[in-house]
Amino acid sequence: MSGDKDSSPNIFRLLQKPEYAMVLLLTVFGLAFVFVTPPALVGDEPNHFFRAYQISEGIVIGEKRENLSGGWLPKSVLYTNRKLVGDIEMRHDVKFDKNLVAELRQLSLNAEDRVFERFPNTVVYTPIPYAPQVLGILIGKIFNTSPLAMLYLARIFNLFFFICLAFAAIKKTPVHTWVFCLLCLTPTNVFQVASASVDAFTFGICFLAVAYFLFYAFGENVETKNIDVAKLFALSLLAVLSKNAYIFLPLLFLLIPYRKIGTIRKFLITFAALLIVCIVSVAAWTRAIKSIFLPYRIDIPINTDEQMRLILAHPFLFTRLAVMDYVAKYDYYFVSFFGQLTWLDLYVPTYLTIFIFVVLMIVSLSDKNPNISISKLNKTIFVSIILATMLLVSALLYITWTPLDAPDIEGIQGRYFIPVAPLFFLLFYNRKFAWKRFDKYVYLVVYATVFVSLAMTLHAIIKRYYI
């Protein structure tokens, strides 16, 4: 009995730490999202599942047949996803047929009966962000499960991969641990990491890369040895190869005092090598998939090469277009950052997104390490990376999703900025704002905020698909 008495307060204290609070909350709510959200009804989830299945067969680069880019898949995989999606997309009057789960659960894979399927928006991804889903699919194959079961396994492995990466990130960062925790638990983030999307790995690896850069930059009594530099190279490479929109994250290397690397010469050589490795890797993959690249949209004319030339010929005009687009659509990007669900046809209430943002701001101001100061120069680096990422996201969506000569840029979603969100909230890091009582009970604020916001999100999903 004495052992039980001793262990109870230890568990309680453990759950007051941000990394363990995140694990508990994301495990409980993440699994709820996995099974409450109808399969294949997260944005682009079928196409991500198709790409993951393709990679599970050892196919790294897909195929292009005539004007279609994708690959050969079992008919059962295609049938399962088409049945699940049905005509429910963008139609709130149509509810999810729960009988489909029972029906499709009995469907065998029959891997030899195949058809060529188009999934041009995901076939161009590297295999890296599909590692969790592929592992789930391979386990499904070992146990001869249905494609539906494989989809659920892909979701579950995605969720727990993200939890592991996020746990490591929160443990590693020397600052803003509660901010990292809250960013992992926004409705949009939880919804995405509990799906078969590449966002789970991408968000997780970017958070971990940011945390490591912060650790080596601001960590107390931290020595940076060759093995530590190798870790930064590996994390940066994984991040930029997951999604090349985040190719500016390695600029965080500039936060590290050069003395921790050695001489100024060694610092500059290491930094240059990091940039070259990341840029060359992204360029090599881009070249490798060039022959199979096709615009995803077939409803409008898109000329990627011509639009790229326009950006390069008129960079200032394009920058103005991008800025005006963010100004005009800031409310949509704000809401879709915190509470975008399903196929872009469901969002949590706007007041909830404002509430989450206000809590994050308060936590950002109060969550501090008294021994760490972040200078204006450091914050200038954060701003530069954020702005460069926003401009690159605009450019990528302009050349792949926006019709030529369009007055604005189409296709941008707020969730694209989740990987650089820790840098935004670090702009409010300070050692002046003191609210000792809040600091003492910040864990209660986080638990309450997450419970309310994710419970409301689950209710919105249930109402949308089942009631």
> Is the pLDDT score of 396 beyond 50?
yes
> Is the pLDDT score of 89 beyond 90?
no
- Give me the pLDDT at residue 141, please: 97
Report the mean per-residue pLDDT for the chain: 94
Q: How confident is the model at residue 150 (pLDDT cuts 50, 70, 90)?
A: very high
Residues contacting residue 16 through CB under 8 Å, at least 6 positions apart: 443
Task: Please give the angle made by the CA atoms of 456, 84 and 401, to the nearest 5 degrees.
Answer: 80
3-state secondary structure of 145: coil
Residue 69 near residue 120, CB atoms below 8 Å:
yes
> Is the pLDDT score of 225 beyond 70?
yes
Q: How many angstroms separate the CA atoms of 24 and 12, rounded?
A: 12
Q: How many angstroms separate the CA atoms of 123 and 292, rounded?
A: 8
Q: How many angstroms separate the CA atoms of 111 and 159, rounded?
A: 26
Residue 121 near residue 294, CB atoms below 8 Å:
no
Task: Please give the angle made by the CA atoms of 205, 207 and 212, to the nearest 5 degrees.
Answer: 95
Span of 142-146, 270-274, 406-410, 447-451 with lowest mean pLDDT: 406-410
> Is the pLDDT score of 5 beyond 70?
no
Residue 1 or residue 49, greater confidence: 49
- Give me the pLDDT at residue 94, please: 92
- Give me the pLDDT at residue 135, please: 98
- Give me the pLDDT at residue 266, please: 96
- Give me the pLDDT at residue 6, please: 53
What is the average pLDDT across 90-97? 89
Residues contacting residue 367 through CB under 8 Å, at least 6 positions apart: 175, 176, 177, 178, 179, 429, 442
**CA distances from residue 325 to 79, 192, 310, 411 in whole angstroms, order as listed:** 38, 25, 17, 11
- Give me the pLDDT at residue 432, please: 82
Radius of gyration, alpha carbons of the chain: 23
- Count CB neighbours of 3 within 10 A: 7
Half-sphere exposure of residue 451: CA atoms within 13 angstroms, side-chain side? 8
> Is the pLDDT score of 436 beyond 80?
no
Q: How many angstroms separate the CA atoms of 379 and 257, rounded?
A: 14
Half-sphere exposure of residue 422: CA atoms within 13 angstroms, side-chain side? 30
pLDDT tens, residue by residue, 32-83: 999 999 999 998 999 999 999 999 999 999 999 988 999 999 999 999 999 9
pTM assigned to the model: 0.95
The percentage of the chain sitting over the pLDDT mark of 70, rounded to a whole number, equals 98
**CA distances from residue 359 to 259, 367, 417, 436 in whole angstroms, order as listed:** 37, 12, 19, 16
Q: How many angstroms separate the CA atoms of 386 and 260, rounded?
A: 25
Sign of CA dihedral 223, 228, 233, 237: negative
What is the average pLDDT across 327-352? 92
- Give me the pLDDT at residue 9, please: 59
**CA distances from residue 61 to 52, 72, 136, 292, 385 in whole angstroms, order as listed:** 12, 12, 20, 8, 30
Span of 79-88, 130-139, 176-185 with lowest mean pLDDT: 79-88
> Is the pLDDT score of 1 beyond 70?
no
93 burial via Cβ count (<10 Å: 0-12, 13-18, 19+): exposed
Measured in whole angstroms, the distance separating CA 370 from the mean position of its chain's CA atoms is 30
What is the average pLDDT across 268-293? 97
Span of 34-48, 222-236, 297-311 with lowest mean pLDDT: 297-311
Residue 54 near residue 123, CB atoms below 8 Å:
yes
- Which residue, 217, 145, 148, is CA-closest to 176? 217
With left for phi above 0 and alpha for psi between -120 and 50, is residue 90 left, alpha or beta? left
- Give me the pLDDT at residue 343, please: 75
